[in-house]
Structure 1
Amino acid sequence: MQKELSTGRNMLWNSAGSFIYLGCQWAITVLVVRLSDGYDGAGTLALAMAISNVFAPVAHFRVRPYQVSDIKHLIDDGEYVAFRLLSIALSVVLVFFYTVITCDSSSLMPVMLFFIFRALDLFFDVFHAIDQRNCRMDYCGKSSAVRGVLLLFSFSIVLYVSNNLNLSIASMTVVTLPMLLYDVPKARSFGAIRVHLSREHAVKLFRDCLPSVVGMVSCVAVVSIARQYLSFMEGDVALGIYASVCTPVVIVQAGANYIYAPLLVSFAKYYDEKKTSAFKSLLFKILVLTLVVSLLAAVAFLAFGDFLLGIAFGADIVQYSYLLYPAIVSAALTALIAFASDLLVVVRDPKGNLICNLLSFVACIPCTLLFVPLCGMNGASYAIAVSYAVGLVAMLVCLRKRLLGRVN
């Protein structure tokens, strides 16, 4: 009983800290509108975020679900840290060349600065995985809460004083970096972390996780393609409006993530112990809870959306509140496909992970070309939702096949 209460408190700490961090990140998308002239800054920041979302899976390399489900400790924690450093270095190079090739030269600096901040965030993640596997997600929550407050204050103060988006983004990295002095010792409390990487385990992690990485890059590219095509068709101002209005619905995606992420260890144990019924039951509960969170968000935005948007961005943006509702659907499906993708990592089905995510990517191209010209800014949400629905259905089929033959 005491252990269950302790686990519950730890998960509450993690959820609270994660929501604070998410709220602070959302707040900077509000402040960039409030403290800048027009929506150009918001559009640039949205572009930087979209590109970082495409390449963050390379930096992450889908190691978090693999690491927390490594319940037999087949790979040393120090090797996970070393592998994350290598994947981050690779992702930074890829972002640079992608931005040079596909974006205006003026976007290179903000995109790179934001991705460096995102890469640091993902470096913290490898230590949080150690905390999670040892059932101390309160450490993760406390770290996230403090880093969220720090990045919000630094971004807002620097932007207000300098009116320079690049300096504001860079300041977020500077102020959150010292939090490693908290996270690293906490992770080390569970055992020594000697940063090294054997060739055998490097090859194993690369081979086992690469299909999932390619799949997740393809999956995340769905959002980037839809947003970049919207920017191409209607300009940065339209993208800035769309991103500003739709950012609050990320709470749906985050809410679902905070429901399932702490339970990945449980899924791994159920699968390892061949408790198929328990695995399916937990899966069903999370699907239902995600639906409930989405419905509650829809009701809340219906009741208070105009009011909240007016406070956050000014009266001019209230006319675009109709963008919220398709965005809620797309956010819910984004959360569900991320959840299903993590489960495919847990059950070690990299091939299925890759194929299903590629299906979403392939579906995105005709959907984007169809919906954005036809429906304008809402078209981006429609394209994302339909594309992810295709991939999600395929993933559930793969999970069902993987569970067949497992005895309860």
Structure 2
Amino acid sequence: MMSKSTPSPQKIFLWNILGSLSTAAISVLLLLVVSRTLSDFEADIFSIAYAIGNLLNIVGSFQVRNFQATDIKGKYQFYDYLMARIWTCALMMAATFIYIYWQQYDSYKSFVILLISLYRMTDAFSDVFQGLFQQKERLDIAGKSLCYRNILLFLVFSCALFMTKNLLVSLFLLCLVSICFIFVYDISYTKQFLEISLKSRDRRIVLLLLKENLPLFINAFLLVYIYNQPKYSLDGLLEAGVVEQGIQKDFNILFMPVFVMNLMMFFLRPMLTKLAIHREKKDIEGYQSLKRNIFLILFLFTGLVFLGSYFLGIPVLSILYSTPLHQYKESFLILMLGGILSSFATVFDNLLTVLRKQKVLVVSFASSFLVSLFLSDHLVRSYSVFGAALSFLVSMSVWLIISIIIYQLVKDKEF
């Protein structure tokens, strides 16, 4: 029987950081291995398939994690969260098949998308256990799960790809190992806190949970679609033969630091749970102090990231991926600026979730989505990668501005 003793706050913080870093790094490293091992044609397919997998992952997770972690009163039991996740993961895979059929991709591209979607589905399923660990203020366990699993998956995928030079075989092994890890690690540690049961209960409770989180799901789906819209536009041009092979890979390489930067929220997750606790206890001083610290950390982090990107970004990425990217420096800096704006918008949105005002977030996400939908194809067709970067920056600006306006309107109701 594993010990239930709680480690020090420093150890919990350290493991949360390591888990967050590994999550930020895994997609970067997988693309790095693919781009260095396979052709531009296969790297392009992997890039767009991963973007599609990220979008479908939102269906699998249904964006319940923040709600689960801040469910301090225990409105729903873990069983409800688990059953909801099983349903949404099944829906995710169904959506994958529908998407592949709708797009009429060739068999190779279809199988790559299917396997990457399956891998991202395991991420979504593992997340429900990590949500429990966070709710119990044991982010060290969640961090270890992410860290160990991502390291293992990277090693398995890399070795398989180097040995076989076969992307499909490597992705199949990636999925298999990921599924096994959930049973060996996540489920085992969950039994420290409760017994896992799939006994029959009132399904209306699970439906109520999903209904309550529906606005968060819609918001997240729209956001990831906005993030990926330029990639979809580039994919359409690639399928039509308008642009050369490798441009999808190049854009994904440029976009990687943007995505990694936005994962700053992994570091702030413990603070969000504590915000909910302060609010529940009516601790106004503690709540306001913690909120100020969140923005201070974000200001410092994003400032350092942008400076590093300006001086080191393109040279490091070019060497790391063995791909010349110097012609994209302006596009890269525009993408990084958009990523900074999205990080601040994400914080405002999470504050509104703590206040249980997530329904109103649909306004900001829908506005940004519509801007991206109308701008992206035109800008990408006219200016290629630079146009894709501009589309992203404008969309993120709209998202942040409207999020701030909404927060200002409801913040007086924090207590």
TM-score (norm 2): 0.89
- 1:289 is matched with 297
- Contact 2:257/2:336 (<8 A) preserved: no
State the SS of the aligned residue for 1:376: helix
- 1:84 is matched with 85
- 1:186 is matched with 189
- State the distance in 2 between where 1:167 and 1:318 align: 34
- State the distance in 2 between where 1:403 and 1:274 align: 15
- 2:16 is matched with 14
- 2:141 is matched with 139
User: Pick from 213, 218, 221: which aligns with 2:217?
Assistant: 213
- State the distance in 2 between where 1:261 and 1:242 align: 29
* Superposition pairs of residues 14-93 of structure 1, within 5 angstroms: 14-37=16-39, 39-93=40-94
Q: 1:373 to 1:217 in 2, by over 3 A?
A: same
Q: 1:307 to 1:385 in 2, by over 3 A?
A: closer
Q: Deviations over 1:304-352 (max 9, x none)?
A: 3344223212253444344321221222233333333333333222320
User: Pick from 122, 126, 129: which aligns with 2:128?
Assistant: 126
Deviates most, 45-54 or 312-321:
312-321
Q: Deviations over 1:145-204 (max 9, x none)?
A: 111111111111221222221222222111222222111121221222323552231121
1:225 aligns with 2:238: no
- 2:240 is matched with none
Deviates most, 66-75 or 51-60:
51-60
Deviates most, 11-20 or 277-286:
277-286
- State the distance in 1 between where 2:89 and 2:194 align: 24
- 1:250 is matched with 259
- Contact 1:44/1:236 (<8 A) preserved: no
Unaligned runs of 5+ residues in structure 2 are 238-242
State the SS of the aligned residue for 1:184: helix
State the SS of the aligned residue for 1:193: coil
1:332 aligns with 2:335: no
Q: 1:316 to 1:223 in 2, by over 3 A?
A: same
- State the distance in 1 between where 2:388 and 2:75 align: 42
Q: 1:97 to 1:246 in 2, by over 3 A?
A: same
**CA-CA distance at 1:376 after TM superposition:** 2.1
Q: 1:215 to 1:302 in 2, by over 3 A?
A: closer
Letter aligned with residue 34 of structure 1 = R
- Contact 2:271/2:294 (<8 A) preserved: no
Q: 1:205 to 1:370 in 2, by over 3 A?
A: same
- Contact 2:339/2:396 (<8 A) preserved: no
- Contact 2:342/2:400 (<8 A) preserved: no
**CA-CA distance at 1:278 after TM superposition:** 4.5
Letter aligned with residue 55 of structure 2 = V
Letter aligned with residue 235 of structure 2 = S
Q: 1:344 to 1:155 in 2, by over 3 A?
A: same
**CA-CA distance at 1:374 after TM superposition:** 4.2
Letter aligned with residue 99 of structure 2 = Y
Letter aligned with residue 324 of structure 2 = D
Deviates most, 57-66 or 367-376:
367-376
- Contact 1:59/1:122 (<8 A) preserved: yes
**CA-CA distance at 1:97 after TM superposition:** 0.9
**CA-CA distance at 1:406 after TM superposition:** 4.1
- Contact 1:371/1:379 (<8 A) preserved: yes
- 1:96 is matched with 97
Q: Deviations over 1:18-53 (max 9, x none)?
A: 21243233111111111012x222211111121122
1:264 aligns with 2:266: no
- State the distance in 2 between where 1:53 and 1:75 align: 27
Deviates most, 292-301 or 122-131:
292-301
Letter aligned with residue 80 of structure 1 = Y
Q: What is the CA RMSD across the aligned residues, in angstroms?
A: 2.3
State the SS of the aligned residue for 2:8: helix
- 2:384 is matched with 376
* Superposition pairs of residues 387-406 of structure 1, within 5 angstroms: 387-406=395-414
1:240 aligns with 2:244: no
- State the distance in 2 between where 1:346 and 1:402 align: 12
Q: Percent identity?
A: 22
User: Pick from 304, 309, 312: which aligns with 2:312?
Assistant: 304
- State the distance in 2 between where 1:155 and 1:321 align: 31
- Contact 2:261/2:340 (<8 A) preserved: yes
- State the distance in 2 between where 1:274 and 1:235 align: 58
Q: 1:24 to 1:210 in 2, by over 3 A?
A: closer
- Contact 2:255/2:335 (<8 A) preserved: yes
- State the distance in 2 between where 1:340 and 1:302 align: 26
- Contact 1:21/1:149 (<8 A) preserved: no
- State the distance in 1 between where 2:284 and 2:331 align: 40
Q: 1:279 to 1:99 in 2, by over 3 A?
A: farther
- Contact 1:367/1:383 (<8 A) preserved: yes
**CA-CA distance at 1:235 after TM superposition:** 5.2
User: Pick from 137, 153, 156: which aligns with 2:158?
Assistant: 156
- State the distance in 2 between where 1:235 and 1:288 align: 43
